[in-house]
Amino acid sequence: MEFAFTPEQVEFRRSVAAFCEKEILPIAARCDASGEFPLHLFPLMGKLGYLGVKFPPEYGGAGEGNVTYAILAEELGRASAGIALGFYVHVALALTAVAAFGTPAQKTRYLRPGIAGEKIGAWGFAEPGAGSDPGSVTCRAEKTAAGYRITGTKMFTTNSPFADFVVLTASTAPGQGV
């Protein structure tokens, strides 16, 4: 089995590292201190193809898979753990869930603009009383004529102050576990 990075992956790492040095390192300490998130990086990274690196070309991605995505996550994390987390939640949690489980209409509505950095995703898993345990989720999903009505409380939701959409866990049958 071959574990070495391909020449394309090595070049991708070099280009992301240069991007981080120019766009993230100079503002990282200020963002940590002020709590501000550099939202302008979403469309910038969308244009560079970074946000769609692991997703299918039919939705604007590069179809390069998870190893190339991991290179992106590593380099962002090296520049700023805080800024990297916002992009991790957007790409690895919210967009990945839409790509894996979304309908074609949901992929057009959320995945495509998410890859372009025009819409920002969040991930609502943690709840007071149901941290690591999905079977204890108390957030309810009740079927309605228009879709589902969601009732409940989430916490620690990264990106929530500015997200355009949230992918969340909710139970249609509370008390039945997972």
Closest to ligand FAD by CB, 10 or 29: 29
Shortest distance in whole angstroms from residue 85 CB to ligand FAD: 6
Closest to ligand FAD by CB, 19 or 88: 88
- Count of alpha carbons within 13 angstroms of residue 70, beta-carbon side: 4
Shortest distance in whole angstroms from residue 162 CB to ligand FAD: 13
Please give the angle made by the CA atoms of 88, 93 and 96, to the nearest 5 degrees.
Answer: 110
Closest to ligand FAD by CB, 72 or 139: 139
What residue spans of 61-153 are helical by DSSP H?
A: 66-79, 81-88, 96-101, 104-106, 112-116
Closest to ligand FAD by CB, 36 or 58: 36
Exposed/middle/buried for residue 109 (C-beta within 10 Å: 0-12, 13-18, 19+): middle
Shortest distance in whole angstroms from residue 149 CB to ligand FAD: 20
70 contact partners, CB below 8 Å, separation of at least 6: none
The partner residues of 127 in beta bridges, in order of sequence, read 130
Shortest distance in whole angstroms from residue 28 CB to ligand FAD: 16
**Applying CB under 6 A, which residues contact ligand FAD?**
85, 89, 123-126, 131-133, 156-158
Please give the angle made by the CA atoms of 175, 176 and 178, to the nearest 5 degrees.
Answer: 120
Output the residue with the shortest Cβ distance to ligand FAD: 131
Shortest distance in whole angstroms from residue 110 CB to ligand FAD: 16
Strands 165-168 and 148-151: unpaired
Closest to ligand FAD by CB, 87 or 125: 125
